[in-house]
Amino acid sequence: MALVNVKDMMQAAREGHYAIGAFNTNNLEWTKAILETAEEQKSPVIIEVSEGATKYMGGYKVVADLVRDLFEAKKITVPVALHLDHGTYEGAKAALKAGFTSVMFDGSALPLEENIAKTKEIVTLAHFCGATVEAEVGAIGGEEDGVKGRGEVADPNQCKLIADLGIDMLAAGIGNIHGPYPANWLGLDFDCLAAIKAKCGDMPLVLHGGTGIPEDQVKKAISLGVCKVNVNTECQQYFAAATRKYIEEGKDLEKKGYDPRKLLKPGFEGIKEIVAIKMAMFGSTGKAC
C-alpha cells in the first residue's frame, strides 16, 4: 500500500457522515505518533504540514521521505494522505514536486480574481500528479505561519465560484480560528455553513481550527458536510504538558532520563492520546477496517 490522495477518503466520509482528522506534523515523533495511532484505531488519516514546519524539518522532500519511509517501515495498512496545510502558490507547487498527495492552496487573502486564477493552475498541476486540492474562502481566524485572519464568515456565492474550479475540498471560514479559542468566542456560524452546503452540494468541506471547538459543534458541522477537521494546537499542548510533567518530576535527572528517546516519549504518548480522542470524536475510528 502507498500513500493516497484524499478523494476516496472524502467520499467515504461524506457518505458515512463522519470526518477525517488532519493532524499537523512537526518532527519524527509527531509523524510516528499519528501513524501509529491511525493504525491502532483503524482510522484513515491525513498527515499535514505547514510551510513553516516544512522549513523546520528540512524541506518538502525530507517531509515526504519521512512520512513514506515510516509508513512502509511500520507496515501501515490504513489509508494515509500527505497534505500541505495553508500552502502558498509556490509552496503548493514545491510540495507536489516532492510527492505530496494533496495540497491546500490558500489564496483567501488575494483578490478573488487572482485567487481563482491561481487555484485553477494548482488544480491542473495537482490532478496531473494524481494529487488532490483544498482551497479556502474567507480567512480563518488566528494565525498559522503568518497567515492571519479575523474569523471571517465566507460568502456562499464565492464558495460556489471556487468549488466549481475543480477542487476536491473547500475550507470556508465560518467563525473558526487557529489556536486557542478566546472566552468570548461566539461559536461556529451554522447558518453560513448550511448555506455553503446548499450552494456547493457534495463538495467535501473542511473545518480548520479544530482545537477547542466544543464536541457538539464539531459533530453538527460534520452533519452539515464537513469531511475533514484540522488539528494542530491541541497536539502541541498535549506534547508540551507531558514533557513539562516529566521534567518537573525530575525524571530527566534519573539515570539516563536526559536521553532524548526518554525525554520525548511522554510527549509522544500525549500526541497519541489526543489523536485517538479526536478520531473518536470525528467518527473515523474503525472506518479503515
Tell me if 103 sits within 8 A of 84, measured CB to CB. Answer: yes
Integer Cα distance of 147 and 86 in angstroms = 8
Q: How many CB atoms lie within 10 A of CB 13?
A: 23
Gap between the terminal Cα atoms of the chain: 14
What is residue 177's predicted lDDT score, i.e. its pLDDT? 75
Dihedral, 194, 198, 202, 206 alpha carbons, nearest 10: -30
> Residue 115: pLDDT band by 50, 70, 90 thresholds?
confident
pLDDT band at 140; cut points 50, 70, 90: low
Is residue 125 within 8 Å of 96, Cβ to Cβ?
Answer: yes
Strands 102-105 and 226-231: unpaired
pLDDT-above-90 percentage for the chain: 80
Residue 146's pLDDT is what? 44
Identity of residue 278: K
What DSSP state is assigned to residue 140?
Answer: P
Could you list the active site residues?
A: 85
Answer yes or no: are the C-beta atoms of 60 and 95 closer than 8 Å.
yes
**Residue 106 near residue 83, CB atoms below 8 Å:** no
Q: Residue 213's beta-bridge partner residues?
A: none
Helix 265-282 to helix 28-41 angle (10° resolution) is 40
- pLDDT over 70 (residue 260): yes
Residues 6+ apart with CB under 8 A from 138: 108, 149, 152, 153, 154, 155, 158, 159, 172, 173, 174
Q: How high is the mean pLDDT of the chain?
A: 91
CA distances from 141 to 178, 211, 266 (A): 6, 13, 31
Given a contact cutoff of 8 angstroms between Cβ atoms, the answer to whether 196 and 156 are in contact is: yes
The C-alpha R_g of the chain, in whole angstroms, comes to 18
Query: Please, what sign has the CA dihedral across residues 229, 160, 174, 108?
Result: positive
Distance, C-alpha 152 to centroid of its chain: 19
pLDDT digits (tens, 9 = 90+) for 86-114: 999 999 999 999 999 999 998 877 888 89
Tell which residue, 81, 78, 83, has the closest CA to residue 103: 83
Position with higher pLDDT, 84 vs 144: 84
> Is a pLDDT exceeding 80 seen at residue 264?
yes
DSSP state of 155: P
Gap between the Cα atoms of 233 and 211, Å rounded: 6
The answer for residues whose C-beta is within 8 angstroms of residue 216's C-beta and 6 or more apart is: none
179 pLDDT above the threshold of 70? no
Cα separation, 43 vs 279, in Å, equals 7
- Cβ pair 83, 100 in contact under 8 A: yes
